[in-house]
């Protein structure tokens, strides 16, 4: 794909080469994200950050990524503080906001809304999550993390075994990650979930058509066997029509030190898109694994900054300007990135 000026709306936009390109640029962002060097590649540029749904992690991650490239961030975080409550169309909002920004990142509860916004926008738009639909930068950072974690264990994405656990019906991160894995070869998927929250049939069919092996199970023990990566998810309470129903499934599948030791490989990477629900009744990923070297959940969020910096650099076409006029960081930073 041509990144220059492109909208990033869906993982289905990407060919395998495109993903590779994002990952290469993400690698080159490390000295900046890890506070060794300062880049001014986007000095003077403005990110319009439009969050029409609560978010701390994604919003701050995008804002931080843009700041690390030298740009300004103008944020709108509350749909109630918006003209949309006065009957404004997404078309109008897009025409106006894109006159204020060089690139827009948008989260919105309604599937398709970000694509609709992008159609009217005069600048590139990145989908920061449109309800249960897509969240492409999350899928990219997940895959980027898998790649980096497996490399250090002499493995690769092609041919890996991955278990996905939990609410596979509502979790857009597992949907988007699965879509992205269609570009790779010979993967074994263990899909562990309550029957009622299983991965949509259409995605399972696509995975199989791409030549991947898919095992669907409600038996955690069987599903965890021989996995390189286990990807846990939260019960997406906010996507249930009946919130009480979510209580039935919460806490059903859990990962903790004992289960890890018993059922996982010594090398199995533990992932979670966060937030993890640490309330006792849920606790799908126990704190007793917090010090485990294979727990990659905070490397995921750190990698998110690299991937988002890469997306900004690619669509605003400054990948060759990152190092130009870059300077060393002058303030105290301890080595805080793994």
Cβ atoms of 297 and 285 closer than 8 Å: yes
Helix, coil or strand: residue 37? strand
Based on CB atoms, which residue is closest to its own copies, 134 or 277? Answer: 277
Span near its own copies by CB under 8 A; candidates 18-26, 43-51, 157-165, 217-225: 43-51
Min dist CB 88 to its own copies, Å, is 4
DSSP class per residue in 184-224: SSS-EEEEE--GGGPPPHHHHHHHHHTT-EEEEES-HHHHH
The only residue of 9, 45, 139, 224 in contact with its own copies, by rule CB under 8 A? 45
Min dist CB 151 to its own copies, Å, is 20
The only residue of 7, 14, 29, 70 in contact with its own copies, by rule CB under 8 A? 70
Helix, coil or strand: residue 64? helix
Residues designated catalytic: 57-58, 86, 107, 135
The only residue of 10, 61, 229, 233 in contact with its own copies, by rule CB under 8 A? 61
Q: Within positions 174 to 213, which residues make up the interface with its own copies, using CB under 8 A?
A: none
The answer to whether 309 contacts its own copies (rule: CB under 8 A) is: no
Q: Within positions 233 to 252, which residues make up the interface with its own copies, using CB under 8 A?
A: 234, 237-238
The answer to whether 123 contacts its own copies (rule: CB under 8 A) is: yes
The answer to whether 333 contacts its own copies (rule: CB under 8 A) is: yes
DSSP 253: S
The answer to whether 80 contacts its own copies (rule: CB under 8 A) is: yes
Dihedral sign of CA atoms 127, 310, 165, 158 in order: positive
The two structure tokens encoding residue 41 = 């590649």
The answer to whether 254 contacts its own copies (rule: CB under 8 A) is: no
Q: Within positions 264 to 303, which residues make up the interface with its own copies, using CB under 8 A?
A: 274-279, 282, 287, 290, 298, 301-302
Q: Which residues contact 302 (CB under 8 A, 6 or more apart)?
A: 33, 337, 338
The answer to whether 316 contacts its own copies (rule: CB under 8 A) is: yes
Q: Helices then strands (H, E): number in the chain?
A: 12, 11
Helix, coil or strand: residue 278? coil
Q: Which residues contact 159 (CB under 8 A, 6 or more apart)?
A: 185, 186, 187
The only residue of 9, 25, 42, 177 in contact with its own copies, by rule CB under 8 A? 42
The only residue of 28, 31, 36, 55 in contact with its own copies, by rule CB under 8 A? 55
The only residue of 16, 24, 91, 151 in contact with its own copies, by rule CB under 8 A? 91
Helix, coil or strand: residue 76? strand
Min dist CB 196 to its own copies, Å, is 20
Based on CB atoms, which residue is closest to its own copies, 261 or 327? Answer: 327
The only residue of 14, 23, 26, 63 in contact with its own copies, by rule CB under 8 A? 63
Q: Within positions 17 to 36, which residues make up the interface with its own copies, using CB under 8 A?
A: 35
Scanning the chain, the segments in alpha helix (DSSP H) are 16-28, 30-33, 57-68, 90-97, 113-120, 136-151, 172-181, 201-209, 220-224, 243-249, 257-263, 297-315
């Amino acid at each position: 794909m041509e990144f220059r000026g492109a909208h990033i709306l869906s993982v289905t936009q990407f060919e395998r080469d495109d993903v590779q390109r994002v990952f290469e640029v993400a690698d080159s962002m490390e000295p900046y994200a890890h506070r060794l060097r300062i880049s001014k590649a986007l000095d003077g540029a403005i990110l319009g950050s439009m969050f029409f749904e609560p978010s701390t992690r994604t919003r701050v991650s995008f804002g931080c990524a843009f700041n690390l490239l030298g740009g300004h961030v103008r944020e709108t975080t509350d749909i109630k503080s918006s003209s949309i409550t006065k009957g404004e169309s997404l078309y109008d909002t897009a025409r106006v906001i894109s006159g204020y920004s060089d690139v827009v990142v948008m989260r919105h509860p309604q599937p398709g809304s970000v694509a609709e916004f992008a159609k009217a926008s005069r600048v590139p738009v990145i989908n920061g999550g449109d309800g249960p639909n897509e969240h492409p930068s999350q899928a990219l950072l997940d895959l980027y993390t898998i790649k980096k974690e497996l490399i250090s264990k002499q493995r690769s994405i092609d041919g890996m075994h991955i278990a996905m656990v939990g609410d596979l019906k509502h979790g857009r991160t597992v949907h988007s990650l699965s879509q992205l894995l269609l570009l790779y070869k010979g993967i074994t998927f263990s899909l562990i979930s309550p029957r009622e929250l299983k991965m949509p049939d259409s995605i399972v069919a696509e995975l199989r058509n791409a030549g991947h092996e898919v095992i669907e199970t409600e038996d955690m023990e069987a599903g965890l066997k021989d996995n390189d990566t286990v990807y846990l998810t939260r019960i997406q309470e906010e996507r249930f029509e009946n919130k009480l129903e979510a209580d039935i499934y919460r806490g059903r599948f859990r990962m903790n030190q004992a289960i890890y030791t018993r059922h996982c490989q010594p090398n199995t990477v533990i992932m979670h898109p966060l937030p993890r629900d640490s309330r006792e009744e849920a606790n799908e990923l126990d704190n007793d694994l917090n010090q485990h070297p294979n727990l990659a959940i905070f490397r995921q969020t750190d990698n998110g900054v690299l991937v988002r910096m890469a997306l900004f650099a690619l669509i605003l076409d400054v990948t060759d300007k990152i190092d130009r006029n870059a300077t060393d960081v002058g303030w105290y930073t301890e080595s805080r990135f793994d």
